[in-house]
Structure 1
Amino acid sequence: MRDKKARAVKVKNLMIGGGFPVTVQTMWKKPLEPVSDALLAEINALVVAGCDILRFAVPVIEDAALLGDLQARIDMPLVADIHFDYKIALECMKRGVAKIRINPGNIGDEARVAEVIKAAVDTGTPLRIGVNAGSLPATLRDEPDTVKAMLASAELELELLDRHGFKNAVFSFKSSDVSTTIEVNRRFREKYDHPLHLGVTEAGPLVPGIVKNTAALYTLLKEGTGDTIRVSLSADPLQEVLAGREILRTAGLSKKGLNLISCPTCGRTTFPVRDFYEKVQARLASLDLDICVAIMGCNVNGPGEARHADLGITGAGKYALIFKKGREIRRELIENAVPAFLEELEKL
């Protein structure tokens, strides 16, 4: 069930909320730089993997021009992440950046927020009001009930938005605590129809980060709450995108991308499962096919226990065996495994 209670907010060429498909976001992990072929290629790799929206930190006003130039070169909506200086948000809107994220805990007083809202109205730019448990307004930091404090912070912004007749706002409520993240999003959705951006902040490195985000996001998405997601990790943005897509597939909200299975490996392993996956993961993530692909470490798991796979690969001595539905179709030297496998993949 999609979040049909949420109103729809248009972000460049995408719709967030309104029952539209849940989108996947990530955040660029490096400082902004002038547009180059190398930068565009890096961003395109994220798009191929399933990234719908990309957010950039914009710490100084000079960076607004760089982000505006980049937005002019790509179709994917870019988001300017603004803290402390509201004037940077104004400049980003002038430069045509698709969306602005502000933190009510540090963007400044009501007058500054009002300036941002007025500019958003004038330029037709959607906003994300990002409420974080760790950076609440000073007046709410002593509130022992974190969920209550986060909702109160959001309601202060809602009053301003309503006063200016601004409807195109997405809200997010993030905590490093899974239970808090779930509860605050549930309670906001009970009262309001603004689209929700889901995520667990400061979730940590790859393993704990994916576990925390999956616990929170899967729970909310299965309840029908949530319109766009970001899996925050101390890891490469590509890993965030892949994790986000997998959460949507697991929650039954996306068929984009194939179902990948692989064995955990053991002493019988004769095929470099992890190394092989790292070489083909970007291509696998780009495929919008409803198929099962298996990467197995030995001939016990593949093709035996993976005989249902539409395409699979395993190892036997110095050879890689490629199979379909349990039947071997090709045998290549291990060093030729990647191109041979990708060639068979293209035939599906």
Structure 2
Amino acid sequence: MATRRALVTGSSGFIGFHLSQRLLADGWEVLGLDAMTDYYDVTLKERREAMLNQSPNFRVVHDRVEGAGVMDGLMADFHPDAVIHLAAQAGVRYSIDNPESYVEANLIGTFRVLEAARHHKPAHLLIASTSSAYGANETMPYAETQKCDTQMSFYAATKKSNEVMAHSYAHLFDIPTTLFRFFTVYGPWGRPDMALFKFTKAILEGKPIDVYNHGEMARDFTYVTDLVDGIVRLIDAIPTRPNAASEIAEGDSLSPVAPHRIVNIGNSQSVPLMEFIAAIEARLGIEAQKNFMDMQAGDVPATWADASLLMRLTGYKPQTAVQDGVAAFVDWYRDYYRC
């Protein structure tokens, strides 16, 4: 049986690294694409990539996904069975000050991916979206069939745009496409701009942590290997264009006119922010100094995933408890930074 091939954009990023590791462990051949941008410490990306390079079935190209001809050339040469597009400019708050970087990486970059898939059709195109796409929606848990037109940040707006762009290509060119909405992913090798990383660093340095909305927030925290499990299982849950809308099961986000589906990957529980902070304090054995602040622009008070569609499609449900996931991150952080 021929070795399956995956092209992973953003392979040296937090999620891309963990996903590539898992695919390699499962026997896939992986081609990574990463621009190694300096949005955060490039050394962290280099160390993740060095670990991936230990596998003979991994190779990486350093270039920008939005570069003209980059994705087209890679797909023409590599002939991937699955394309998992994770490369993006991340961060809700950064999008307020640097919106142009989101246009380039998230909008133009995804356009390049879609164009390459149009010409070199993979068996399945999978694209990262975000729970931020639910925007101001108040009905929880969030279900994929909800209308989502009230995004609260430019980051979220670009990701929702990716979903719509992908739908048009799936419809026009019959490209089987799944978009997965992430819910506050955390774990070892995480990004320094994320709350868990920032909180852990500040507490160990004896500095106060900023707690927004005076702690009245909740998130569906999803451990990174749970997320990766969901993505890997979705690779073989390939959407097909239905013959009629009546063929679509209740609760399924499958498009009535395209092989296109949106799937939540979340832990299916909304954990209060103060409980999350308490888990960090417990593992460190240090009580945090807390600086309670108002809600930040572009943020939402709570997220909560309905992950029943993921279960129906794959038989899988993320299940890592916050206390266990936080402990794993804290242990990694203290080992990595020798503190």
> What TM-score comes out, normalization by structure 2 length?
0.33
Tell me which of the two structures has the higher relative contact order, counting C-alpha pairs closer than 8 angstroms and 6 or more residues apart.
Answer: 2
Query: What is the TM-score when the length of structure 1 is the normalising length?
Result: 0.33
The structure where strand makes up a greater share of residues is 1
